[in-house]
Amino acid sequence: MRWPALALLLVGCGGDDPGEATPAPDQGVVARTCAERAAVLAAQCPPGSRPEVFAAGTTACAASGEILNDDGAIEAICRSVDGCVLVCGFTDPCACGIDRVTDEGVFCASCEEAAACGNQVCEGGESPETCPEDCGDVCAPGTERCAGEVREVCRPDGDWETVACRDDQACGLTRGRPFCQTRISPAGGTYLAPTGQPFAGDGDAAAIRFQVGRLPCAGDCEPLRFVEDGARVLARQGMRLALFDAATGAVEDAGFPVLGAFAVTEHHVGTSARQPIVVDRARRTTFTAQAIVDDTTGLATGGVALTEDGAELAVAMAVEGEPLVASWSTADGAARHLLRFVDPAVASNTQATALAFSPDGRLLAEGRVGGLVVLWNVAEGRYVHLLQTQVGEVTALAFPPTGEPVLLVGGAGLELWELEAARRRWREPRSAPGSLAISADGLTLAVGGGAVSLRRMADGVEIRALDGTGRVHFSPDGHRLLAGAILYGDAL
For residue 185, the model assigns a pLDDT of 43
Provide DSSP, 171-191: EEEETTEEEEEE---TTS---
For residue 282, the model assigns a pLDDT of 83
Residue among 190, 200, 6, 170 at smallest CA distance from 98: 170
Which stretches of 320-362 are assigned E, i.e. beta strand? 322-329, 335-339, 354-357
| pTM for the whole structure | 0.61
Sign for the CA dihedral angle at 10, 12, 14, 17 comes to: positive
Q: Which amino acid is at 411?
A: G
For residue 19, the model assigns a pLDDT of 44
Residue 26 main-chain phi, psi, to 5 deg: -65, -30
How far apart CA 171 and CA 164 sit, in angstroms, is 10
Count the neighbouring beta carbons within 10 Å of the beta carbon of residue 395.
Answer: 20
Residue 91's Cβ-side half-sphere holds a number of Cα atoms within 13 Å equal to 7
Which stretches of 109-184 are assigned E, i.e. beta strand? 121-122, 144-147, 150-154, 160-163, 169-174, 177-182
8-state DSSP, 470:
B
The DSSP bridge partners found for residue 436 are 447
Residue 55, classed as helix, strand or coil, is strand
Provide DSSP, 418-431: ETTTTEEEEEETT-
How far apart CA 373 and CA 385 sit, in angstroms, is 8
Domains of the chain: 25-93 (no CATH), 105-202 (no CATH), 210-489 (2.130.10.10)
CB distance 348 to 369 below 8 Å = yes
Residue 27, classed as helix, strand or coil, is helix
For residue 455, the model assigns a pLDDT of 93
How far apart CA 125 and CA 471 sit, in angstroms, is 48
pLDDT digits (tens, 9 = 90+) for 131-175: 766 776 677 787 888 887 788 888 877 788 888 776 656 776 655
Q: Which amino acid is at 446?
A: A
CB distance 367 to 353 below 8 Å = yes
Sign for the CA dihedral angle at 476, 479, 483, 485 comes to: negative
How far apart CA 40 and CA 43 sit, in angstroms, is 5
8-state DSSP, 255:
E
pLDDT digits (tens, 9 = 90+) for 251-298: 999 888 888 889 999 999 988 888 888 888 888 888 888 787 777 788
Residue among 184, 230, 172, 222 at smallest CA distance from 484: 222
CB distance 217 to 486 below 8 Å = no
CB distance 299 to 319 below 8 Å = yes
The DSSP bridge partners found for residue 355 are 366
For residue 443, the model assigns a pLDDT of 92
Residue segments in the chain with a per-residue pLDDT below the cut of 70:
1-31, 103, 112-116, 119-130, 132-133, 136-137, 166-169, 172-177, 181-203, 342-349, 492
Longest dimension (CA), the chain: 101
First-to-last alpha carbon distance for the chain, in angstroms, is: 32
CB distance 431 to 409 below 8 Å = no
How far apart CA 272 and CA 477 sit, in angstroms, is 30
CB distance 480 to 205 below 8 Å = no
Count the neighbouring beta carbons within 10 Å of the beta carbon of residue 338.
Answer: 13
Q: Which amino acid is at 77?
A: I
Element (H, E) at 124: none
